Structure 1
Amino acid sequence: MRLAQADPAPLRRHRLAQCHRDNAEALAAIVARHGWPHADLVGSPASTAAVMILLHSPDLGFRLRCRDLIARATADGHTPAIHFAYVADQCAVDLGQPQYYGTRISPRTLRPYPIRHPQSVDERRSDVGLGPLQEQLQALRITG
């Protein structure tokens, strides 16, 4: 991914897209066989890696199915709520709907995509283990 960002040549972007598709296909096979790979099944690092693969999957239908699996795993205490927050927001933005937690930020503006009930977003963020949105935006501006 870093190579593709450093050299955004068409071939490198194609390879990155193929890598995302391949990783998503492998994750889909795991999910079909075992359900969502939550931390109790595969450990925290692998479960977090699964979320990262899911977030880069080109298949919205697959992301939506996994969002629902992650919601159940979160409710059962098997998956950190922050995993659900990132996936739910990604799905909402991709569906053209307001996000809930403000985790999706426009790379062009460094502002969040529309947020449902923005006046209470920090309360929802706190519930899933995220800091205040303004702190995240400030950090992006400093490091961005």
Structure 2
Amino acid sequence: MRQDQEAARRMVPELAAALAGELVRRADEERHLMRQARVDPTSWCRGALHECRQANAEALRTIVERHGWPTADLVGAPASTAALMILLHAADLDFQVRCRDLIAQAAADGCCPALHHAYIADHCAVEEGRPQFYGTRVNPLTLRPYPIRRPQTLDERRRDVGLGPLDEQMRTLRADG
């Protein structure tokens, strides 16, 4: 186990609980603002959402710098998922790539769901103009997945991280869309 992970595991429970609460609160606030911006797409709502995402990304950056990636075994599954949501909406690709690597290591160590790595790995690949590996990113205009690396083995990779077949995801997306 890496030294930064050992330090994180020794974190006092009160600090871990405080970090968890902060991450969940921030992700909830962003979800609320996203719903509000859909209903009322004014420049004020979009601006408030943008400011929230910036503040959330800065808070997450501080947490990561001080404590490493907030893994499920450290802050609990809901807070770790909240951290991932904040990361996916951060504007700094370099920060996302750095966290992707931390999440990959945490998933390999069993401290974080492999699904988290799938989402951030695909996000970074698409943002870098490369094919995604798990097919989690869909173009909102075409409702088709962004290009996928080795599509012939896609559903096997998806199954390995806890995702269903891509065809099922696409049917659900189109039905809900």
Which band: TM-score by shorter chain? over 0.9
The aligned runs of 1:84-103 (5 Å cut-off) are 84-103=117-136
Confirm or deny that 1:105 pairs with 2:111. Answer: no
Count of aligned pairs between the two proteins = 144
Q: Structure 1 residue aligned with 2:154, among 121, 126, 131?
A: 121
State the one-letter code of the partner of 2:169: Q
Cα deviation code 1:38-65 (max 9, x no counterpart): 0111011100000000000011011000
The aligned runs of 1:63-82 (5 Å cut-off) are 63-82=96-115
Aligned-pair distance for 1:84? 0.2
Secondary structure, aligned partner of 2:144? coil
Cα deviation code 1:113-139 (max 9, x no counterpart): 000011111011001000000000000
Confirm or deny that 1:143 pairs with 2:176. Answer: yes
- Root mean square deviation, CA, Å: 0.6
- Give distance in 2, aligned partners of 1:8 and 1:94: 25
Instruction: List 4+ stretches of structure 1 deviating above 6 A.
Output: none
The aligned runs of 1:24-43 (5 Å cut-off) are 24-43=57-76
Cα deviation code 1:78-132 (max 9, x no counterpart): 0000000000000000000000000000111110000001111101100100000
Q: Which runs of 5+ in 1 are unaligned?
A: none
Larger radius of gyration: 2
The alignment's TM-score, normalised by the length of structure 2, stands at 0.80
> Structure 1 stretch 5-14 or stretch 68-77: which is displaced more?
5-14
- Give distance in 1, aligned partners of 2:133 and 2:41: 32
